[in-house]
Amino acid sequence: MSGREQSDVPSRTGPVAITDSVDPYRDDPRPYRRCVGLMLFNGDGSVFVGNRIDVPGDHWQMPQGGIDPGESPEQAAWRELREEVGTDRAEILAESKTWYPYDLPVGLSRRIWKGKYRGQTQRWFAFRFLGQDGDIDLTHHKPEFSEWRWVPLAELPDLIVPFKRPIYERVIREFSKFGG
């Protein structure tokens, strides 16, 4: 399922969401960081979201994380599920058909990851949660979320930071058949 070659990763041109009329990345040679995203569905078709622990306020997102050297996207997805949600009581329903790239806001991209990346390109996985809510343990690994909840698919775009919203909308369209 995850035997993707490096050529499957999108080029640095054509970011998904630029809100300014002038592309601030036009001459930016920095690559995208390869990572995975997880859409974890419960039995009711709602989706797991966590509130980021490193930013005060409401900053909800689905689990995501980088792909380690030598790790396939599927292996990274399972690792991120265990690290961020604290369980692997799930099954994979689908893998996204494509990589979803997005640019970080310029100021943010210069601060995180030591400025090495202009944004991320994500391979998304839909999972069905097979456990009970009590199986979720945000403290299993270094916590990335302060709290979590299940939300309907329709609420996801409004919860996410604006620069990621187009990615969430595309992933929702791709995986909507699994939601309620």
Q: What is the pLDDT of residues 54-112, one digit of tens each?
A: 888 899 999 999 999 999 999 999 999 999 999 999 999 999 999 999 988 877 887 87
Tell me what pLDDT residue 109 has: 81
Residue 15 within any structural domain of the chain: no
pLDDT category at 134 given cuts 50, 70, 90 is very high
Q: How many structural domains is the chain composed of? A: 1
Instruction: Look at 111 and 149; give whichever has higher pLDDT.
Output: 149
Residue 23 within any structural domain of the chain: no
Residue 108 within any structural domain of the chain: yes
Q: What is the pLDDT of residues 7-25, one digit of tens each?
A: 344 444 444 444 444 565 6
- Measuring CA to CA, which residue among 61, 65, 60, 38 is closest to residue 124? 38
Residue 156 within any structural domain of the chain: yes
Tell me what pLDDT residue 23 has: 60
* Model confidence at 5: pLDDT above 50: no
The residues, ordered by sequence, that sit 6+ positions from 119 with a Cβ below 8 Å of its Cβ are 15, 32, 33, 101, 102, 103, 104, 109
Q: What is the DSSP letter of 85?
A: I
Q: What is the pLDDT of residues 26-53, one digit of tens each?
A: 678 889 999 999 999 999 999 999 999 9
CB 115 within 8 A of CB 109: yes
Residue 115 within any structural domain of the chain: yes
Residue 171 within any structural domain of the chain: yes
Residue 5 within any structural domain of the chain: no
Tell me what pLDDT residue 3 has: 39
User: 115: domain range?
Assistant: 29-178
Residue 81 within any structural domain of the chain: yes
CATH of the domain at 33: 3.90.79.10
The residues, ordered by sequence, that sit 6+ positions from 127 with a Cβ below 8 Å of its Cβ are 38, 39, 40, 41, 77, 81, 90, 91, 92, 93
